[in-house]
Amino acid sequence: MDLFFDSLPLLILLALVYLLLVLRRWRIGRARPAILIDGSNVMHWRDNTPSLEPVIEIVAPLQAAGFRPGVVFDANAGYKLEGRYRDDAVLARRIGLPEAQVLVVPKGQPADPTLLAAAREFDARIITNDRFRDWETDHPELRLPGRLIRGGYRNGRLWLELD
């Protein structure tokens, strides 16, 4: 147990360096406005069953609308989808995005802080049905109209409040 607590500052520092590197990757070639997809939320939109299909289905209309989509997943997304860990490269390939636009956060970290930090960094909107109420104090921008984009399926068709 002492080893864990002795290593905790180093783990936190490594996680922050990792986040900065990811943010830097997303910044490169950033001509179009960024929009972020809460992958761990969106993958449950169809029948509340984990699937990459809702995430994949969102990407093309976002690109057609001139956005540069990025997707952030919890570390356990691969387990929910396929029963095993899946990293950025695997999920990016399945979604059809460059690896630089997909992030699976490290094990033991929730995706929300990374997603919200990236949204702030890029002044990006977030596609999710999560309200992030636990994070509103640290991220008051979440209260701005249109910052969080809701969506889902109605009669088998994807809908987004992208206005």
CA separation (Å) from 86 to 69, 79, 91, 93, 106?
19, 7, 7, 11, 11
Tens of pLDDT, residue by residue over 148-160, are: 999 999 999 999 9
151-154/102-104 β-pairing: unpaired
List average pLDDT for each run of 10 residues in the chain, which is 163 residues long: 58 54 54 92 96 96 95 97 96 97 95 95 96 91 93 95 82
pLDDT of amino acid 118 = 95
Domain ranges of the chain: 2-160
- Say what the pTM is: 0.80
Predicted confidence at residue 162, as pLDDT, reads: 84
Spatial contact of 72 and 115, defined as CB atoms under 8 Å apart: yes
Domain over 2-160 is classified CATH 3.40.50.11980? yes
Evaluate the CA torsion angle 11, 127, 135, 45 in order and state its sign: negative
**Residue that has been written with the tokens 């997304």 in this structure:** 77
- Predicted confidence at residue 8, as pLDDT, reads 59
